[in-house]
Structure 1
Amino acid sequence: MESMTIEKHESLNFYNYLCQKIGSEEVVKVRRLALVINDIGQNTNQITSGSKGEGLDLKGSDIDVMTIDCNIEVIESEKDFNIQHQRLSFVINTEETQPCFTQLYLITHHHNLILNFVDPLGLLNLLEMKHLRNVLSNEQYKQWCISHYFSSNLPFKLHGPCISSKDGQYDFAWCLKCETWICQAKPWISRPRTAWPSPELIFSHTQLLCYAMLKILLKELVDRNEDLEGLLCSYYMKTLMFWISEETDPYLWRPDNIIPCFMASLKRLLYCVRYSILSHYFIPENNLFLLRFNTNNKEKIITILTNFYRQGINCFVSSETLQDYKNQCNETTKSSISRNSRLLQQIMPTFDTIRMMFEAGLVLRLLYAFLHSSRTGTSRVLFALQISEAYMVVADKNQYPNSTGNKHRYVSYKSDLNRLVIGLNADAVSGLLKLASFFYVHKNYEASLTMLTMISYTLQKCTDEKIDFSFFDCEKTLNPIQKHVLSLMKRENLGTLMKSSIIHPCTFQKDSSIIPQELQLDVSGKRTFF
């Protein structure tokens, strides 16, 4: 009984340590929701996926983005074809493919329509003939995506099913949507299982942390061996976690049981490698480990994983992310760092990601609709922050470049002013500076005099307790003054913390309608940061 109590205590300490290093349940939810809201606001049908989309922010993780191509639809049967859709329609053919793969045949109805089909994007050039049928070429389609959706100045490469930036920071997957659940995966719906997954299909936080630990084990320990690098990937770890979660009682995935849960996961990985079997979660006929290993690398990876299993969680002493476990774990629960300090420090990289992916053409009405229908305070705050940021970007663009006359100038003036006032909620400083710039550009001298006071007041805000977004480094901790001020604001919500504590750089688009003439020559690129 005493031994069990000690194990639970160690697990709880380790769980709290992981929440500090990887992200608490609250932080993970904020990260996920922030990225979902960002996706909603994009012009394209975008889904941020991978580790970032799952709420993790591990070292070295890239940004995975799925984009649904609305120009093409995929159907399972030609009888589902709807000529009114005005899109190229392809039917799934799996007769000559491995499980989880398919060929896409242009449906026969299009053969008669192909001469009259309006094709400004050149999609018909991506077809190949196979068995007297038009088939969509995988390689040509990805090359077409590169030429149509990416700047020629940015280097991209093909990486498996994705289009990746050569610096490794981004993976883009262009997806063709099938509106129905494909028949190959239908057995997943009815196969016997425990209570997992729940109808909401959400990992518990303990499950997510175990998955993160497997990723760290893989990326920071196994991949150190050059001949093993890339042999296992995050997708395999996720598949493994899905199977274990489905086969075990959800009650076991508790914070005070996280170490036994991780050890069980590692043991299962070792089994899968030893017998070269890891079934695809939705289509089990596809063995992901079939022919994956040769004799040499298989024995080596088995030896390494066996060693890790014997060490238990002590194996992470050699990892970069969790190496300080022994020093910090026992102090985690006694830490004086406030919730707000941790929250901001852990979610800032996610907000940085959002700002990098930000586009001016946000769907503001949709964001407003979600704001008013949000059920939680956190979601309302995040939608409000995104709307404020959106208005800052929209106001920066020249809305009426060719308009003349007093009426158009008045409409433009009022519209930009309203947007900038809403944008004041985005952070502590940049909104005020943009508003000052706006009045200066429009020669509103009375307001400009007020702006002198406003700018002076704004500059006084640039003090040691503010978190300067342009210099924020997630590898470093907040300074003592920042931590102290945030601890005094423990009753404030996330929106107030962001508005009062964060300083964004003041950014202007090229040909911005609110930038002073004296700075226009400095804004030569797409966006310039001051």
Structure 2
Amino acid sequence: MHHIPRLSEAVYVGMCCYVGSPTEVRIRREVMDTDEVLTRPVMIMRGLDRMMSGSCSEGFRLCKTSDVDVMFWFPDQKVICDLSQITLYRIPQHTMILMECENLPLGFTRLKLMTPSGNQAVNSSLIASNNEIYISSILFRAHMLEFRQAFGGIGRSSVQHGPCATINHLGFECDYAFCLRSHHWPNVALPWIQRCQLKNWPQDHVLSSIIKDGCHVVPISSSPLNPESGCEWRISFSGAEQKLVSSMNHCQFLCYGLLKIFLKEVINSTENESCLCSYFMKTVVFWVIQNDTHLAWVPENILVCFWTCFKLLISWVNRGECPNFFIPKNNMFRVKVVGQKQAALFGQLFGLYCKGISCLLLSPKIRQYLYLPIVYRTLRFRTDEGSIIHSCRLDFCLFNELKFRMSITSSLLKEIFELFISIEQIQICRLSPFQIVIVQRLLCTSLQLFSWFLSGQITEEISNKKRAYICDKSLKIMKLSSKIGCVSDILYLAILFYKNSHFEQSLRCLQRAQEKMSKPYVIYYNKGNKEMYRHAMAGVSLSDRMRKCLICDITLFEYLYIDELVPEQEVVKADGFFEIVIPPFVVLHMLLVLTHHKLGDIVRLKQSLQDIHNLMLCDDGTHVPEDYRDISWQILGICQQTCGDYMGALNAFQCSLQQAPIQVIQKATMFRIQKINDFLLQI
């Protein structure tokens, strides 16, 4: 076993590169947590609170295996564990719902309505039993699925998957779990607190935070096919699990990741129906961390840690018992791992056990990390973060998270003001350098929303003086946004100038944007010259690095920003979607074409039109990602149509129809094709 530490270090380094280094994982969590804190007041104003769950919230980004789960609940529906807790709430503003766990399988509860509810979803799910009113999990689940489907857009494709409404749009899958929240720790899990204190894991501050946050109840029964269990709800400890994962050291986190990869690539790689999921892997890691106090969770021991977890999993499968970490008497194998499935699974796992630690070579991903140290026996690996990844990779990680996680939008003034209040309040707290940039990014977005709101107040009915005042205020706010935002945010200012018919000012903004976006060190979708970035940004603050280097997509929400894109925005809105996302380089060239057209500059108009045409023909995905080629070809067609090149426009629209329908603009494309054909027939 003398070679195990060296192999462990190699696996640790490889996992850091694939799963993420300690700081990368921290960045991912901080972006998600800070975004949740800042946007929660707006969500509550809309009648729902939310929490990200699943492997994404834990810090994983394992391509398509990192599921995106979101839990939603009604903040005024209060679930209590004991009648004495009623005094903590205000009635009738709050609805009291009592958990009853007697005579039910462990981990499940009934929800008894104690005070009248004004919530439609709750009221439509009520059933009477033994002269009491209970909330049916079956009815609640069905009602919330209808609610999700009524949103339109990709929500229409929602299907029931356990307690969740699941959407699957062009390979992207997301689970929406509509549930109820309890701010109290359930009585059935009280022994868990004593066990944690006895075992000294998790640490006291983590334990206190978990108990304070309570739990959720999700609408799924112990026997979904049994109609008599329709009043049962499962107690969910998702919030607690998230805090436990966050409290792990990085070796423990990577061991959990190692088990997830091994499950996917080895255990579940056969054609037989899988009966193990990653939740069981997480439970194994929790139990091993808490019970095996002598196990060293360090890089040179990660394979021993993995093997310890794997042996515990095998023993559970052999006994047919997987004790829930919070309620050990709740056997999570009770229905899933039984009979022939259990026997076959044990046979498979025992076969892997007999191979020893070399069974990891069956995983294509893990085999990559073991190959070199096996072949070159003198090869050593450094496990400090600075030796594993370059510091600029941390910036790329942060920028990538900012692009994909910060997604709040609103057209209501009270919600925009609520965002400003949240931003002001969080700055009182001590923020990390990453959190400062996150807040800066949200402030930029909030200023843009406020500017567009003011711009939307300009109507034909108001006086010229008031129109000029509102226009001036809107422009000043958008200018401020462009100063604190990323490189591409100046395009929003150019759009606003264009919308207000200030074409010369729009052109100046576009020229500045073109200059900034052509720098060799800019980053778009994690693509950029890292060496140039490292040299150019040496000694520059993280906030300024974002302003000077990050390029983000341009998102057009429900406002009509550009007259030339009205058909597309109307079609998207009618189909239940709320935004169009366009690559910034396409927006830049489009606005140059439209602005030169408005100014009557024929020479520069032809050059700009040729530039956007070349961009679409020659780009390798660097400036026009594949997911946005439908709207990008559409915009090329619009530019050609505006300039009178109708045959070129028809060709571009046909190319748009041939792309993956990410932006759902096909009806607008067909409308434009029909319009051109009608025009050509009249000539």
| TM-score normalised by L of structure 1 | 0.85
Contact 2:15–2:254 (CA under 8 A) maintained in structure 1: yes
Q: Residues 49-60 of structure 1: matches in 2 within 5 Å?
A: 49-60=53-64
Q: CA deviation at 1:258?
A: 1.2
> How far apart in 1 are the matches of 2:399 and 2:349?
34
CA positional deviation for 1:465: 4.1
Aligned ranges 1:320-469 → 2 under 5 Å:
321-326=365-370, 339-347=390-398, 350-355=401-406, 357-360=407-410, 361=415, 363-397=419-453, 400=457, 404-405=462-463, 406-407=465-466, 410-411=469-470, 413-415=472-474, 417-429=476-488, 431-444=489-502, 449-463=504-518, 465-469=521-525
Specify the alignment match of 2:38 in structure 1: 41
| 1:378 positional shift | 2.1
- Counterpart of 1:66 in structure 2 is 71
- Give the corresponding residue for 1:91: 98
Deviations 1:147-181, CA, capped at 9 Å, x for gaps: 33551342111211222113461111223122221
User: Offset of 1:47 from its aligned partner?
Assistant: 1.2
Structure 2 residue matching 1:70: 3-state secondary structure: strand
SS at match of 1:169: strand
Which has the larger Rg? 2
Q: How many residues align?
A: 503
Query: How big is the alpha-carbon RMSD for the aligned residues of Structure 1 and Structure 2?
Result: 3.0
Matched, 1:198 2:203: yes
The code of the aligned residue for 1:164 comes to T
Deviations 1:76-106 (A, max 9, x none): 2334335624233211111131111001111
User: Following TM superposition, by how much is the alpha carbon of 1:367 offset from its aligned partner in structure 2, in angstroms?
Assistant: 2.5
Q: Are residues 1:260 and 2:301 paired?
A: no
The 2-side partners of 1:491 and 1:33 are apart by 23
CA pair 244-302 structure 1, distance change in 2 beyond 3 A? same
Q: How does 1:107-506 map to 2 (within 5 A)?
A: 107=114, 110=115, 114=116, 119=118, 121=120, 123-150=122-149, 151-153=151-153, 154=155, 155-167=157-169, 169-191=173-195, 193-201=198-206, 202-229=247-274, 231-249=275-293, 252-311=296-355, 314-319=358-363, 321-326=365-370, 339-347=390-398, 350-355=401-406, 357-360=407-410, 361=415, 363-397=419-453, 400=457, 404-405=462-463, 406-407=465-466, 410-411=469-470, 413-415=472-474, 417-429=476-488, 431-444=489-502, 449-463=504-518, 465-469=521-525, 478=527, 481-486=529-534, 489-506=537-554
What does the per-residue CA deviation read over 1:199-225, in whole Å, with 9 as the maximum and x for residues that have no partner? 343111111111111111112222222
Amino acid aligned to 1:100 = G
Instruction: Quote the sequence identity (%).
Output: 22
Higher helix proportion (structure 1 or 2): 2
Name the SS of the counterpart of 1:139 in structure 2.
helix
Segment drifting more, 380-389 vs 489-498: 489-498
After superposition, the C-alpha distances for 1:344-381 in whole angstroms (9 at most, x for unaligned) are 454555444315x5333562321232134134222222
Shift of 1:450: 4.9
**2:230 alignment counterpart:** none
**Contact between 2:7 and 2:370, CA under 8 Å: does it hold in 1?**
no
2:633 matched residue in structure 1: none
Give deviations 1:108-131, integer Å, cap 9, x for gaps: xx3xxx5xx6x3635322101122
How far apart in 2 are the matches of 1:377 and 1:215?
31
Change beyond 3 A, Cα 1:323–1:437: same
Answer yes or no: is the 8 Å Cα contact 1:228–1:301 preserved in 2: no
Higher relative contact order (CA 8 A, sep 6+): 1
Match of 1:475 in 2: none
Name the SS for the 2:484 alignment partner: coil
Q: Specify whether residues 419 and 223 from structure 1 end up closer, same or farther in structure 2 by C-alpha distance, changes over 3 A only.
A: same
Cα distance, 1:343 vs structure 2 = 2.3
The alpha carbon displacement at 1:414 in A equals 1.3
Structure 2 counterpart of 1:428, one-letter code: V
Amino acid in the other structure paired with 1:359: T
Q: Which runs of 5+ in 2 are unaligned?
A: 44-48, 207-246, 374-378, 573-577, 583-683
Name the counterpart of 2:22.
Answer: 25
Equivalent AA in structure 2 for residue 59 of structure 1: C
How far apart, in 2, do the equivalents of 1:420 and 1:222 lie? Answer: 55
> Structure 1 stretch 265-274 or stretch 70-79: which is displaced more?
70-79
Letter in 2 for 1:236: F
Q: Is 1:528 matched with 2:580? A: yes
